[in-house]
Amino acid sequence: MTKTALQQFVEERAQDCRVLVVGDVMLDKYYYGEVKRISPEAPVPVTRVLREKETLGGAANVAHNLALLGCHTYLCGVVGDDYHRQSLEEKLSATGIHFEGLICTPGPTTTKLRVLGGHQQMIRLDFEETAPVAGSYEEALLAYVELRLQQGIDSVIISDYAKGVCTPAVCEHIIKICANKGVPVVIDPKGGNWNKYSGADYITPNLKELNEVLVKAVANDDEAVSKAAKTVKRKYRIKNIVATRSERGLSLISSRAAVHIPTLAQEVFDVSGAGDTVIAVLALALAGKIEPAEAAFLANLAASVVVAKLGTYAVSKEELLLALNRTKEQVTV
């Protein structure tokens, strides 16, 4: 597929795709200020707040990336009955994300609050309950997934941040019903228990996550990453591995071949959120029947836009098209 064909997909066909995101939904809050003195109450800096910002985080950031690229985006996860949920839903609504799949539980809406003095993070406060989703909440979540699949979905993302939604039962059930319907499942993993991802079509670990699941160091070179990915593929019966490798780009290891795609970023300021962008663009491209190597290339290109920004960032259709215009690199199988 040529770059022109990829441009045509992003510009015209992405809007016809339907992608479901299931996972740990979060709200990211930021307080920006300046520090000029130490508190008389305790030996801590006093931050004078100058502005604040709230953004979509976790699985909600994955959905945000999809929505900005113009596809039909559906989000499923758990929230609490609190102010953070209201703020989260307002932002989801503003971006056109369907959030009927958010299940309200007694716990809080997962929220990360960061206080920054200048460009230095002073403290982070986490509002969360990481107990595994179970009982009627699990049933409601899976019922929504099944309903969406019946009504038509082109790909499913499982965005696991280890906050309680992506339990073995939930992951295994989703992988099974999607396999029966021929819908690709793409997973952003967390932790060392990858048995729950067994049978998935794609999994997108970074190098640190490969290290954790193999319990050994994996060098950031093509041969070592390919060998590690093949071991993981066999052990957990995962069809394809898309390993993100920071400044070295990413690698797609499938049954057909290993494709190594160098990073296209000119400058790297912040890698936070890049994994969300990779999985969103990869799943969107697969939903549009793009070949896996080209889908991985497009995901890597989108990530190159995100790492040049500070903080959690979702790439827009216009930015991705501009990046496609700038590069003449292609990936061939």
Say what the pLDDT of residue 329 is: 47
Mean pLDDT of 186-201: 95
The DSSP bridge pattern shows strands 250-253 and 258-261 to be antiparallel
- Of 28-37, 95-104, 212-221, least confident by mean pLDDT is 212-221
**pLDDT value at residue 269:** 46
pLDDT at 273: 65
What is the model's pLDDT at position 315? 85
Residue pLDDT, tens place only, 195-208: 999 999 999 999 99
3-state secondary structure of 33: strand
- The model scores a pTM over 0.85: yes
233: helix, strand or coil: helix
pLDDT of 247: 80
118 band by pLDDT with thresholds 50, 70 and 90? confident
Sequence-ordered list of residues with C-beta below 8 angstroms from that of 203, at least 6 positions apart, any chain: 186, 187, 188, 189, 194, 197, 232, 238, 240, 241, 242
Q: Which residues of 121-142 are buried (b: 16+ CB within 10 A; e: fewer)?
A: ebeeeebbeeeebeeebbebbb
What is the CATH architecture of 3-22+57-108+131-326?
Answer: 3-Layer(aba) Sandwich (3.40)
Region of poorest pLDDT, from 16-20, 127-131, 271-275: 271-275
pLDDT mean over 154-169:
97
Taking residues 202-222, what's their average pLDDT?
91
Cα–Cα nearest to 23, from 106, 139, 141, 125: 141
pLDDT cut 70: percent of the chain above it: 93
Give the model's pLDDT for residue 332. Answer: 39
Residues with a known catalytic role:
276
Q: What is the mean pLDDT of residues 211-222?
A: 89
Nearest in space to 112 (alpha carbons), one of 95, 125, 131, 97: 125
The residues spanned by each domain of the chain are 3-22+57-108+131-326
How many H-runs (helices) and E-runs (strands) does the chain carry? 10, 13
Q: What percent of the chain has pLDDT over 90?
A: 79
Give the DSSP H/E element, type plus range, for residue 51: strand 45-58
At residue 2 the predicted structure's pLDDT band, cuts being 50, 70 and 90, is low
The pLDDT-based confidence of 161 (bands split at 50, 70, 90) is very high
Per-residue pLDDT tens for 64-82? 999 999 999 999 999 999 9
